[in-house]
Each structure stands twice: as C-alpha cells, then as structure tokens.
Amino acid sequence: MEVESVVGANANSNALLDDDGKARRTGTVWSASAHIITAVIGAGVLSLAWAMAQLGWILGTTSILIFAGVTLYTSNLLADCYRSPHPVTGKRNHTYMEAVKAHLGGRMHMICGLIQYSNLVGIAIGYTITTSISVVTIVKNNCMKKHNGSEADCHFSNNPSIIGIAIAEIFLSQIPNFHKLSWISFLAAIMSFGYAFIGIGLSLTIIIQGKGKSTSLFMGKTGQSSSENIWNMLVALGNIALANSYAQISIDIQDSLKSTPAENKVMKMANSIGIITMSIIFLLSGGAGYAAFGEDTPGSILNTTGNEHVWLVYMGNVFIIIHILGAYQVLIQPFYHIVELLVSQRWPSSNFINKEYFVGIGKIQFSINLFRLIWRTMFVVVASVLAMAMPFFNNMLALLGAIGFWPLAVYFPIQMIIVKRNIRKGTMPWIGLQSLSLVCMIVSIAAACAAIHGLGQALGKYKPFMYKA
Ligand SMILES: *[C@@H]1O[C@H](CO)[C@@H](O)[C@H](O)[C@H]1NC(C)=O
C-alpha cells in the first residue's frame, strides 16, 4: 500500500497510473452507458407489461417516465459525489459505501451497508424465483402441447426447479472470483438483451396478427374491487422502481472512467444516454406487452402458455435461466468475500475458518476451505427455502424495488449533495431536495406495503411451499 501511495503522488508523471496509484482507467462515455444499460435490462423489464396493465396507459407511461426522471436527477447528483470534497479535483471514492462514509460519516455508512446487503439477499431470492418460473413455464408449455393445449392437467410446483437451481448455485458459489470472469458479463449482456427483445418481439407479433387484447387508458382491471386495483397499482410502482435501479453500482461504473474529461461530466452524459435508452426499452416492452395481452397480462411476459409462438417463449426462458444463474454469482460473490474477510479478521487463528486444503483431480487443482464451503452452501439453501415459501414474482420484485429505491437511489444521493454543496437548512434548494426525498419515501413505503399485502394474500390462498403455477 505504501509503495502504491508514493507512486500515486507522482502519478502525473507516470503514464501507467492514475492519481490514486491504480492502473490507468480507460472507460469512456460509451462503456459507462453500456454498463448502465446492461445493469437495468434484466428480468425486471419483463414485469413492466404487467405493471402497465395495472396502471392503464396514461398512469403507466407517466410512472415509467417519472421514475426515469427522478433516477436521472439523483444519479447526476451521485456523479458529483465520486470525488470529494471537490467533484472534479477531490479524492476518489471507489464504491457507493465509501462515498457515503466520506460525506455522511460512519453511522450512515453502516446503515447504507446494511440496506445494500439485505437488498442483495432479497435479490438472491428474487433471482431464484424468476429462474424457477422460467423452468416451470417451459415444462408447462411442453405438457400443454402433449395435452392438445389444455391446461387442466398441467400444473406444476416451483419446488423441484428451485432445488435444481440451488444445487447449481451451490457449485458455482465454490468457484472463487467467478464474478470477475469477463466472458460472464459478456454472456449475461447478450442473454438479457436477448430475452428483453424476445419479449417485445413476441408481443409485437401478437399485435400485428391482430390478436391483441383490449386495453384501457386509466387503471387496469375490470371485475375486481377498487381496493384490489389500488393495491396492484402500488405493486406496479414497486416493479417499475426495481427495473430502474442501478444506484448501487453507479460509483463503481464511474470509477472505471478515464480522468479527462472530468469523470462527473462524462458520467452525467452516460446517465442521460443510459436512462433514455432504458426508458425506450421499458416503454416498448411494457406497452407492447400490455397491448398484446390486455388486462390479463401475465406477471412476466415470457411467462405465457398456449402461445402459438411457443419456440420464442422457450428461447426467451432459456436465456433468462442462463442469465440469472450467472448474475446470481456476479451479485453475491462480493458479499461472500466481505463476510469471509470479516469472519477471518475476527477469528484469525481458527483452522476451520482460515485453512485451505488443496485437492487435485487429475490436472485440476481445487482449494477447499471448510468455512467457505459451509457458509456459502447455507446461504444458497436459506435463500432457496425462502423462494420456495413465497414464489410470487411481481410481489417479491416489487418488495425489493420498494425497499431499495428510496434509500439507495434517492435518500443517500440527496443527503450527500446537501452536505457537499453546503445547502443550508430551510433554504429553497434544501426544501426542494427534501420534498423530493419525502415524496419518494412515501411511494416506496406504499409500494412495500402493497407488496407485503399481496404476499400475504397469496400465502392465504396457497399454503407455504404448496403453490402450483
Ligand atoms: C473517500 O474520500 C474521502 C474524502 O476525500 C477520503 O478522505 C477517503 O480516503 C476516501 N476513501 C477511500 C477509501 O479512498
């Protein structure tokens, strides 16, 4: 470290290193925009048609645009928090949590970490549910083909596929630094764009063939009580919030940019490009899906059965399975590492925690550590059991979106910028920023309540672990 900082001080004279002593960064506005777009194009996109169906055309479109606008605004605030005290000449912070610590202090840093990591655990559950629904969709479509399109004999539990996914993830979890394999992110990007566009394509073919269902300008479903409608609309907002979320990795993306032109300027441009592209894809996917499936739009548009373009449904779901099996590790491995680091600092002399055993099968060498083996396995098992207990796609995704959106995408960026720009309490800018934060908090809480209400209702209908799609 010491060597690094000495070198860092002379960085200007060294073409290979940046001002913090790290290897010269090479990212541009295009690579940053690409990172943002791949972060927001995920399975969440497939839920937007359902969200649109709950909200109707006007509220649905407006909500997608408003969430995009708020995300753009707060992401731009966040771009100024990468360096501090000055946004162009200050010192770098490399992650979201470091930036929160530098601006708001140790306690907020802890709270931020707690929210981020509990969100991760939630996403592991959400990923497991999403993948298992894809497996069940494939199995169910196959079964219906055998039964001449009748659904009656084709109901399946998610549990076997969740157990299969858990076994796969237990193995993948043992591969250290799986998340740093560069072909993984490349593959993930292709897969997620693949299924997002398959979803759009499937909807468009249905519309073009004139088989689209009727839709409405204002809220959603007929034939259910208005309180049910309102709950669903709030869950829809939670789904949109989740689809938007990339605040957690925004600083990491900025940390890959080269330093001229100033990172915050480039990042703001990347935010605009990323969010405009994202909104176009969201509106296309949400709008086309709603126009194709009408008020009975399924939770995820690739979660359809009895469709005549069944091969598109198969292909899309295979893409989802491949994407999410990998994305799970990309997301969770940093969390594994942090827990292992903390535990080994706490018990530095324990063999169980620290000893590596080397095992060789032929030419392949493994290093096995008992604590790592057991703790990573336990993590996957617990996430999978929770997924089996509550395999409800939209409610689960909405709960995650609602919990993550306000604190990570709105609250922390706003509080940091208030400190950074020295905005005094009671002034107009302060009132403006805090009101935005307050409104977003209310929306987040309402969406979280609606999601919990929905989970409660679903659990009332199906006993835990007994749900069949
Ligand atoms: C983050 O920024 C602050 C303020 O400039 C600085 O003191 C701190 O060392 C930085 N943290 C890291 C880990 O670089």
Cα–chain center distance at 115: 14
* H or E element at residue 358: strand 357-361
Closest-CA residue, ligand 1 atom 1, reads 93
Mean pLDDT value across residues 120-124: 88
Look at residue 267 in the predicted model and tell me its pLDDT: 96
Residue with tokens 């063999």: 351
Residues 6+ apart with CB under 8 A from 434: 414
* Cis status, amide bond into 85, omega within 30 of 0: yes
CA angle 214, 196, 294 (to 5 degrees): 10
Q: What's the one-letter identity of residue 281?
A: I
Neighbours of 70 (CB within 10 A): 19
Asked if residues 236 and 18 have their Cβ atoms less than 8 Å apart, the reply is: no
Domain segments of the chain as ranges: 25-341+368-459
Q: What's the pLDDT score for residue 319?
A: 94
d(Cα 100, Cα 438) in Å, to the nearest integer? 19
Residue 90 CA: which ligand 1 atom is closest? 5
Fold of 25-341+368-459: Hydantoin permease (1.10.4160)
Residue 36 identity (one-letter amino acid): I
In sequence order, the β-bridge partners of residue 157 are 468
> Which one-letter amino acid corresponds to residue 388?
M
- Ligand 1 pocket test target in 91, 101, 251 with most atoms within 8 Å of CB: 91
Q: What is the mean pLDDT of the chain?
A: 88
* CA atoms lying within 13 Å on the CB side of residue 440: 30
Tokens standing for residue 96: 């979201």
- Say whether pLDDT at 212 is over 80: yes
Instruction: Judge contact between 84 and 420, C-beta under 8 A.
Output: yes
What's the first-to-final CA gap in the chain, in angstroms?
A: 55
CB 221 within 8 A of CB 229: yes
- The answer to whether the CB of 147 falls within 8 A of the CB of 114 is no
From the CA atom positions of the chain, what is the Rg in Å? 23
Region 105-125 average pLDDT: 91
Q: Which tokens sit at 192?
A: 């997620």
Burial class of 276 by CB neighbour count within 10 A (0 to 12, 13 to 18, 19+): middle
With the most atoms of ligand 1 within 8 angstroms of its CB, the residue from 80, 86, 89, 93 to mutate is 93
Angle at 322 between CA 316 and CA 323, to 5 degrees: 85
Q: Which residue's C-alpha comes closest to atom 11 of ligand 1?
A: 93
Ligand 1 centroid, distance to 242 Cα (angstroms): 29
- 8 Å CB contact between 246 and 40: yes
Q: Which carries the bigger pLDDT value, residue 390 or residue 159?
A: 159
How far apart (Å, rounded) are the C-alpha atoms in residues 194 and 307? 19
Pocket of ligand 1 (CB under 6 A): 84, 90-91, 93, 98, 102
Residue 99 Cα: closest atom of ligand 1? 1
Residue 25 CA to ligand 1 center (angstroms) comes to: 18
The mean pLDDT of 396-410, rounded to a whole number, is: 91
Q: What is the pLDDT of residues 436-445, one digit of tens each?
A: 999 999 999 9
Question: How confident is the model over 107-132, as a mean pLDDT?
Answer: 91
* pLDDT value of position 14: 61
Choose among 117, 396, 460: nearest CA to 235: 396
pLDDT per position as a tens digit, 32-62: 998 898 888 887 899 999 999 999 999 999 9
CB atoms within 10 A of CB 214: 8
Averaged pLDDT for residues 305-329? 89
